Structure 1
Amino acid sequence: MDLDAFSDVHSGEWARLKTLSTRRRISGAEADELVRLYQAVATHLSMIRSSAPDPVLISQLSQTLNRARTTIAGAHEPAWRDVQRFLLVSLPAALFRLRWWIHAVTFGCVILAVISGIWVATTPQGLAAIGTPSYRQEYVDNAFASYYDPGAGFAAVVWTNNAWIAAQCIAFGISGIWPVFMLVQNAVSVGAIGGMMAHYGELGMFLKLIAPHGLLELTSIFVAGAAGLKIFWTLVDPGPRPRSRALAEEGRALFTVAGGLVITLAVSGLIEGFVTGSTLPWWLKIAIGALALGAFWVYVLVLGRRAVADGATGDLDADLTGSTQPVAA
């Protein structure tokens, strides 16, 4: 196809479609013309994509067609099917594609927390790094347990704090440094507190107060860290895609993950606010936490595998992302 000649022949139709699409009011005859031109320009776009994929022209025609489609069909209104697609397709697909990163981050953080805990529990230097003897005794005897004050206010504070940590891991993930810093800081902190509690013979209390909400809460933080590191690695190694396109596609998919973490952190915040500090039996509290974590992984592995097999990635639908230049695999 001679793209210049094709453009010269049809540019008038493209301009007319653009003009009609921007009018607030059109007559009946103009509405018929708008539909006819929409169909014709959609055919032109298909021909250009298959024969002479010029990314600039493809983008311009895609925008014109999107505007015309809105004029013809009306503005898109959020509907239950959009929420349904997000929860059943986009989010599980994005999490499933991230699963090995999540496993790697979880393994690294657990190992780091265990090392930190052993160092604090078994060495004078590690214990001294936590604070003075009076501070440590007060923390073990009162502060740790009293922190978990049941109620909606406490749950909201917990959710806000954890959501902020997760948002930083994803938003600054492209740096490659900030997610690692946040993950290391969190792992060392949790491990050190556990080590201090173990030194004073209260490891059981530590695990009972951490386990109900911590299983899902910490997993959510690991997911956020994995998402941030994944976007950094896409910058380093975009694969066969152009780097800008790879970053755009993976970035949109990982912000889908960020939306999902709002939900998982809300659930863990509710457990921490209403279960951890409650009068329920400890076995039931831990069972609730384990059930929440198990439900998360069943959701990821079952729905995510199915969604990815159907071609979903967690990215926006093709008609919302614009056209991209084809690349060889």
Structure 2
Amino acid sequence: MFTRAGLLLTWKEIRPYFIFSIILFFAGMVIGGTPNAPTEYLEQQMKGLEGISNSIRTSDNPEWTAFLLITANNILKTIMAMGFGIVAGLMPISMLVLNGMILGYLLSGFSASGENVFMLVVKGLLPHGILELSAVFLACAFGIRFGLTLLGG
């Protein structure tokens, strides 16, 4: 299973689902960045993120608190995406689209306020997003595959 050949075989099986996960996430970003985005829902999600942001800001060690909160959240969400894929893969699909919508909504808001979105993406998202998003896409790919396999596909 953890041999080079086993990992390559697993990658060949999961690659289409991985690509589909990426497409879903970026489709969500496009939806969230459009003027017709469900702004009420996205604003509610932003309020939830404000609570986390405030707890990080008021912490004695904000960097360590941010690291721990984000890491714990990511681990929980990826495990949930894989496990709840059992329900026809709906949890990972909705997670990808909704998180993409939130990111698209945020980026469009920054753009509207005159921020340099390119630099924001390069400096703020890419450094942690390369590993984090790859792990999320992989976990969701396994969740989607799990759900479709149980449906008989």
Q: Normalising TM by the smaller chain, what interval?
A: 0.7 to 0.9
Residue 159 and residue 87 in structure 1: after superposition, are their counterparts in 2 closer, same or farther (change >3 A)? farther
Partner of 1:214: 129
- Post-superposition shift, 1:96? 3.1
Question: Normalised by the size of structure 2, how large is the TM-score?
Answer: 0.73
Q: Measure the CA separation in 1 of the matches of 2:119 and 2:40.
A: 18
Q: Which has the higher contact order (CA 8 A, sep 6+)?
A: 2
Q: Give the length in aligned residue pairs.
A: 140
Picking from 73, 98, 123, the partner of 2:14 is 98
Question: 1:228: Cα distance to partner?
Answer: 0.8
Q: CA deviation at 1:154?
A: 3.1
Question: How far, CA to CA, are the matches of 2:41 and 2:87 in structure 1?
Answer: 33
Aligned equivalent of 1:162: 74
Q: Indicate the larger mover: 170-179 or 198-207.
A: 198-207
Q: CA deviation at 1:90?
A: 3.7
User: CA offset at residue 98 of structure 1?
Assistant: 0.3
Q: What residue number does 2:26 align with?
A: 110
TM-score (norm 1): 0.37
Distance 2:113 2:5 in 1: 48
Q: Once superposed, which parts of structure 1, at least 4 consecutive aligned residues long, lie more than 4 Å away?
A: 125-129, 149-153
**Contact residue 175 and residue 232 of structure 1 kept, 8 A:** yes
Q: Give RMSD over aligned pairs.
A: 3.3
On the 8 A contact 1:130/1:192 being kept in 2, the answer is no
Report the identity percentage.
24
Deviation digits for residues 239-285 of structure 1 (CA, Å, limit 9, x no counterpart): xxxxxxxxxxxxxxxxxxxxxxxxxxxxxxxxxxxxxxxxxxxxxxx
CA deviations 1:184-228 (Å, max 9, x no partner) are: 221111111111111111224531211111122112211111111
- Asked if 1:231 corresponds to 2:146, the answer is yes
Q: In the alignment, which residue of structure 2 is the partner of 1:195?
A: 108
Q: Do the aligned partners of 2:17 and 2:141 also contact (CA within 8 Å) in 1?
A: yes
Cα distance in 2 for partners of 1:130, 1:153 equals 24
How far has the Cα of 1:89 moved from its partner?
Answer: 4.3
Distance 1:128 1:90 in 2: 42
- CA change 1:162–1:128 in 2 (3 A) is closer
Aligned-partner Cα distance in 2 for 1:104–1:182:
13
CA contact (8 A) 2:29 2:104 kept: yes
Contact 1:119 1:195 (8 Å CA) reproduced: no
The amino acid of 2:102's aligned partner reads S
Question: Could you tell me which amino acid in structure 1 is paired with residue 20 of structure 2?
Answer: A
Cα deviation for residue 119 of structure 1 reads: 2.5
Quote the residue 2:86 is aligned against: 174
Aligned partners of 2:86, 2:137: CA distance in 1, in Å?
Answer: 16
CA contact (8 A) 1:172 1:179 kept: yes
Instruction: Tell me which residue corresponds to 1:316.
Output: none
Superposed displacement of residue 170, structure 1: 0.6
